[in-house]
Amino acid sequence: MSVLATPIDPTSAAFLLTENRNMPMHVGGLQLFKKPEGAGRNYVREMFEQMRDANEVSPLFLKHPHRSVRTGAQLVWKPDEQFDIDHHLRHSALPKPGRVRELLELSSRLHSTRMAWERPLWEAHVIEGLRDGRVALYTKIHHSLVDGISAMRLMASTLSTDPEQRDMPPPWAYRASSRKPAPSQTNLSELPMTALRSALGLTAEAAGMPAALVKTLTKSVRNETSALSLHAPHTILNQPITGSRRFAAQDWPVERLRLIGKATGTTINDVVLAMCAGAMRTYLLELDALPEAPLVAMVPVGLNAKQSHIASAEGGNAVGAVMVRLATDLADPARRLSAIHRSMKDGKESLSSMTPTQILAMSAIGQAPAILTPMLRMSGIVRPPYNLIISNVPGPRSTHFWNGAQLVGHYPLSIPINGMALNITCTSYDGKMGFGLTGCRRTVPHLQRLLTHLDDEVKALEKAAGI
């Protein structure tokens, strides 16, 4: 039996090898769809069957990691010769009463389970039973295949702005466009890893990359003028985690956040961070666990080519990471927002004075926290320089559809790791800002309370801004 095995690049291999029961390394997405007008009672089953019967599956979704004596104990990708779509795509239903609560419980459970290497590392669940009639789609894909942002783009790329369009394939289908990517639109699922590797001039040795990153990173960390801060206080978020997950999600109108920003001279992103800051403050106060020093968030930011000094052949943007003080020591929402705005501005400025390699190294913290944390520790940096990661990924602005079903909500599920038990990822879509909170259920108790606190914080910020 001959199989076509291809080598796994070092970064992907690192995601596979650092994974364990407590730290599954997959990202997820929860999408909510509104059935089209005139949908019959079998609509969800038909949607499921249409996805299942997609003609051809893209190679990315057919390969699985493999290591054996025959491969010289090296980790390789191998096509699954017994690929079974029924293992990957599933039709599920919510128990009664079918509230969003039951959906979040199911998503938490699905996101907790690690995927076995013996099959391609992805799953999609078409979920019916929401009492408001909406249909949910939970998708899960291993970080060794795509990073979180690319996964979200991959999901979005199969949608259309045309409500009348039909015969649209699911995200895992082999599409003509994926055969030969246009120069301006490289293969999203491969870009970040390879770009990072080539930018750092790394060889194919797995050990090489983290070492090079850590060298750059420790330099930056020890340089007080850099965008990194070493003064993140210890919190309950920064301890070893278990394999139990809790996911909570909700959205707020972007317009409300925009008006707050306008009235206070801040950005929508500042308002998102202030919401998280206020919610974290209330949450930790309730648990009697708020540290005196303010929490520090690691916030990935996009930089245009000029700012980042990167002469990019593709002319694209680079991503850096700013350490933002969340001002959780301040009781007043308006002062918190203002402090966050300043901290973000400072961070971005120092970031633009960094070298391309430094920026890429920073960016890699977000890409590979699980790999970098132990390496940092070996370099004498005992505590990560931030308490949690807050990402804000812009999504499509217009209304999108999949075969006539309107996408009405989109929430990302991310990866908590040891020492970083909570991850907040936001994504905007069609005038709404969707918040996805993914945490270790044991380390971050009652995580869902953060949704109420986020809502209270929007109101408090509106009041403070005089709206």
200 is a contact residue toward a second copy (CB under 8 A): no
C-alpha dist (Å) from residue 134 to 126, 202, 436: 11, 47, 19
In three-state secondary structure terms, 89 is strand
Catalytic residue among 143, 341, 400, 453: 143
137 is a contact residue toward a second copy (CB under 8 A): no
CB of residue 231 to a second copy, shortest distance in Å: 31
22 is a contact residue toward a second copy (CB under 8 A): yes
Distance, in Å, from the CA atom of 217 to the CA atom of 232, rounded to the nearest integer, reads: 16
CB of residue 409 to a second copy, shortest distance in Å: 21
Nearer to a second copy, 243 or 316 (CB): 243
44 is a contact residue toward a second copy (CB under 8 A): yes
Nearer to a second copy, 42 or 165 (CB): 42
Nearer to a second copy, 118 or 255 (CB): 118
HSE at residue 148, side-chain half, CA atoms within 13 A, is 31
Build a one-symbol-per-residue string for 404-443: x at contacts with a second copy by CB under 8 A, - elsewhere: -------------------------------------xx-
DSSP 211-263: HHHHHHHHHHHH-TTSS--S-PPP-TTSS---S-EEEEEEEEEHHHHHHHHHH
Q: Would you state the structure tokens that stand for residue 270, as one six-digit string?
A: 């500042």
CB of residue 226 to a second copy, shortest distance in Å: 37
Quick check: is 143 catalytic?
Answer: yes
Distance, in Å, from the CA atom of 365 to the CA atom of 218, rounded to the nearest integer, reads: 12
Nearer to a second copy, 144 or 363 (CB): 144
Q: Is the peptide bond before 97 cis (omega within 30 degrees of 0)?
A: yes
Cross-strand partners of 125: 90, 138
128 is a contact residue toward a second copy (CB under 8 A): yes
Choices 85-93, 258-266, 273-281, 343-351; region in contact with a second copy by CB under 8 A: 85-93
CB of residue 95 to a second copy, shortest distance in Å: 5
Neighbours of 201 (CB within 10 A): 9
Where do we find the tokens 């994926």? 178
448 is a contact residue toward a second copy (CB under 8 A): no
Nearer to a second copy, 86 or 205 (CB): 86
50 is a contact residue toward a second copy (CB under 8 A): no
DSSP 368-433: -HHHHHHHHHHTT--S-S-SEEEEEE---SS--EETTEEEEEEEEE---BTTB-EEEEEEEETTEE
92 is a contact residue toward a second copy (CB under 8 A): yes
Please pick, from the candidates 3, 6, 21, 99, the single residue that binds a second copy as defined by CB under 8 A. 21
In three-state secondary structure terms, 35 is coil
Where do we find the tokens 């501005």? 345
Distance, in Å, from the CA atom of 363 to the CA atom of 373, rounded to the nearest integer, reads: 14
Nearer to a second copy, 84 or 255 (CB): 84
- Dihedral sign for Cα 186, 300, 395, 421, please: positive
114 is a contact residue toward a second copy (CB under 8 A): yes
Burial class, 37, CB count within 10 angstroms (exposed 0-12 / middle 13-18 / buried 19+): exposed
Strands 296-303 and 318-325: antiparallel
93 is a contact residue toward a second copy (CB under 8 A): yes
Q: Would you state the structure tokens that stand for residue 287, as one six-digit string?
A: 């648990």
312 is a contact residue toward a second copy (CB under 8 A): no
Nearer to a second copy, 127 or 458 (CB): 127
CB of residue 10 to a second copy, shortest distance in Å: 24
Please pick, from the candidates 45, 99, 166, 397, the single residue that binds a second copy as defined by CB under 8 A. 45
Question: Which residues, including other chains, have CB under 8 Å from residue 66's CB and lie 6 or more apart?
Answer: 5, 75, 76, 77, 78, 117
192 is a contact residue toward a second copy (CB under 8 A): no
Task: Say how many residues touch a second copy, by CB under 8 A.
Answer: 35
162 is a contact residue toward a second copy (CB under 8 A): no
Closest CA to 351 of 307, 408, 397, 404: 307
96 is a contact residue toward a second copy (CB under 8 A): yes
Kindly list the strands in the beta sheet with 296-303, ordered across the sheet, starting from the edge strand earlier in the chain: 245-253, 432-440, 422-429, 388-393, 296-303, 318-325
Nearer to a second copy, 102 or 430 (CB): 102
35 is a contact residue toward a second copy (CB under 8 A): no
Please pick, from the candidates 34, 35, 90, 262, the single residue that binds a second copy as defined by CB under 8 A. 90
Choices 16-24, 139-147, 175-183, 301-309; region in contact with a second copy by CB under 8 A: 16-24
Rg (CA), the chain: 22
Which residues within the stretch 213-252 sit at the binding site for a second copy (CB under 8 A)?
242-244
Catalytic machinery residues? 143
Residues forming the site for a second copy (CB under 8 A)? 20-22, 41-42, 44-45, 48, 82, 84, 86-87, 90-97, 105, 109, 112-114, 116, 118-119, 128-129, 242-244, 441-442
